[in-house]
Structure 1
Amino acid sequence: MSTPWTGIFPAVTTKFTEDDRLDIAEMERSFALQLDAGVHGLIVCGSLGEASTLEPEEKIEVLRTALRVAKGRKPVLLTVVEGSTRRACKLAEDGAKAGAQGFMVLPGVPYKSDARETLTHYRTVAKAGGLPVMIYNNPVSYGVDITPAMLGELAADPLFVAIKESSDDVRRVTKIFNAVGDRFQVFTGVDNLALESLAVGAVGWVAGLVCAFPAETVAIYELMKQGRVAEALAIYRWFQPLLDLDVSARLVQNIKLVEALAAGSNDRCRAPRLPLAGAERAAVEAIVAKAMASRPQLPALRAAAE
């Protein structure tokens, strides 16, 4: 059941119409921009996708939209984050029926489960969905830490194939390898720790600002993979003020505004979130304007072996 997930997996945003319905056409356009830039998969309905505001049927509709655009060329993962294991299992079952190629699974937030509860939740949800799982570890935001020792306990189950490591401590990547070897595909989930994580062995990046700058994000990954560290670092340094916008309680509003300015999308959110205004909006606009004025010319990349 193992799968060789590697590379750039955008955590795509969910688009809404002015009357607060799903904007399918804009999602199709935005997802296609990602795939055309060379990303390696898509992840829908995560925290950046405003999962907590979506109805269950809306999550499946967003998934189906991404699957339609991907046309089987790249894997599409559905994020499973629910307040109860029961609801998470139902979403995993429905996602599998709709054609998801896998899941990114979170603990049963907002409850802060202990290790026994967390492991039981993951095993139960994985069994219900029956598809490969990327474990999402984000103790900073969700208060539950899936430690390297806990990963060792999950390693016996072949459904668990990857981890999105977002502990905000790049040292954790090495600790995972030291604990479980290369049993899991390790992805970084913190935009402004991405190059550092790739440098110490991460094989993928669940990215946020990729939604607005997919070519630059893919280039950093491919250059690091090819050992062209100096070229990757030059792009990463240019990208850093933008990447910092991912590490914020306002990451949804931040990234949607950057998408509107740099990729021709919109920054509509679902309430209670509202688009940025005032000084917050002006600060992001200034960061984007500076980045656009100094946007680097990307180096040619060697074709990846098929």
Structure 2
Amino acid sequence: MQVNWKGVYPAVSTQFNKDESLNLSASQQMLDRLINEGVNGIIVCGTVGENCSMSAAEKRQVLAAAKEAVNGRVPLISGVAETTTALAAQYAKDAEAIGIDGLMVLPGMVYRSAPHEAIHHLLQVAKNTALPVMVYNNPISYSVDISLDSMEVLSEQPNIVAVKESTEDTRRISELYNRFGNRFTVFSGVDDIALESLMLGATGWISGLTNVFPQESVAIYKLAAQGRYAEALEIWRWFLPLLRLDTIPTLVQCIKLAEQLAGRGAETVRAPRLALSGAERQRVISLFEQAMATRPDLRKFTL
């Protein structure tokens, strides 16, 4: 199975009203704006999208609303984060029926899987859909590393076509290419090492902070793809303090607050997450204000 997944794919937030109910119209407006500003794909119902904070029915509502808003303009991929393999397989079937373009599959939630259990889970989800599947490898957050040996087993499943590499070890990108060639499309999944990952051959960047500064994110990708690393570094170094927010436990609250400051969404999250307060909140505000005060002029870069 061949896919043309490349570029910058924001892992979008799910917008909620003040009472924590879904705000589907706000989510759709956010998606439309991101696409108009040049992102290459959309990831819904990922970690930033608070997948595990939504009911099964709500997740399907979010997928349908996203499908309507995206309207085929870019690939639309959904995270699959369920507590059991059966629920994840059913989600994959439902996402395919709704018309999503692909799936980003996480290991089973809550239970800490052994490597062979994670392989079984990923394979069963992939076998229950005709959609292309991206493996989400994030051992720091989900306590299991989808190793190179695991990827060897997964490579036998034709519709497992990509990996979101979030080990924070950029050597893994070269190791994937050395072992598998172009068998898998490789995405960087950690915001603050994305440029290094692109330089090492990652074909895409799944990003949280792209929700706040999409045009700068796309510019970094385009410049890196053209080998114009010195120019990419100019934007990258400006962006890095904010990108660090993607690597801490409160990343969802940080990103949604930054979205609100940028006039791109609301900071409302679902409990047990709570909106930031005190010094942590002020830190995000200060980082955002500094970024706005020193924002690079993208007109100087011929893209």
TM-score bin (small chain): over 0.9
1:69 corresponds to which residue?
69
Answering whether residue 142 of structure 2 is matched by residue 142 of structure 1, we say yes
C-alpha contact (below 8 Å) 2:137/2:164 kept by paired residues: yes
Task: Determine the C-alpha separation between the residues in 2 that align with 1:190 and 1:66.
Answer: 24
Q: Which runs of 5+ in 2 are unaligned?
A: none
Task: Determine the C-alpha separation between the residues in 2 that align with 1:91 and 1:97.
Answer: 10
1:24 corresponds to which residue?
24
- 1:137-158 CA-partner distances (Å, limit 9, x unpaired): 0000110100112112111221
1:257 corresponds to which residue?
257
Task: Determine the C-alpha separation between the residues in 1 that align with 2:100 and 2:135.
Answer: 16
- 1:104-156 CA-partner distances (Å, limit 9, x unpaired): 00011222222221111111101112210010000001101001121121112
Please report the TM-score for the alignment, with normalisation by the length of structure 1.
0.96
Please report the TM-score for the alignment, with normalisation by the length of structure 2.
0.97
**CA spacing shift, 1:78–1:264, aligned 2, 3 Å:** closer
C-alpha contact (below 8 Å) 1:164/1:188 kept by paired residues: yes
Q: How many residues align?
A: 302
1:54 corresponds to which residue?
54
Within-5 A mapping of 1:216-231: 216-231=216-231
State the SS of the aligned residue for 1:129.
Answer: coil
C-alpha contact (below 8 Å) 2:126/2:157 kept by paired residues: no
Answering whether residue 301 of structure 2 is matched by residue 291 of structure 1, we say no
Task: Determine the C-alpha separation between the residues in 2 that align with 1:271 and 1:249.
Answer: 14
State the SS of the aligned residue for 2:128.
Answer: helix
Identity %: 46
C-alpha contact (below 8 Å) 2:137/2:163 kept by paired residues: yes
- What letter is aligned with 1:225? A
Q: Which runs of 5+ in 1 are unaligned?
A: none
1:15 corresponds to which residue?
15
Runs of 4+ in 1 over 3 A off after TM superposition: 299-302
Task: Determine the C-alpha separation between the residues in 2 that align with 1:264 and 1:39.
Answer: 15
Task: Determine the C-alpha separation between the residues in 1 that align with 2:231 and 2:239.
Answer: 13
- 1:219-241 CA-partner distances (Å, limit 9, x unpaired): 10011011111111100000000
Within-5 A mapping of 1:71-220: 71-220=71-220
- What letter is aligned with 2:85? T
Answering whether residue 237 of structure 2 is matched by residue 241 of structure 1, we say no
- What letter is aligned with 1:269? V
Task: Determine the C-alpha separation between the residues in 2 that align with 1:78 and 1:120.
Answer: 20
- What letter is aligned with 2:278? G
C-alpha contact (below 8 Å) 1:9/1:42 kept by paired residues: yes
- What letter is aligned with 1:229? Y
1:4 corresponds to which residue?
4
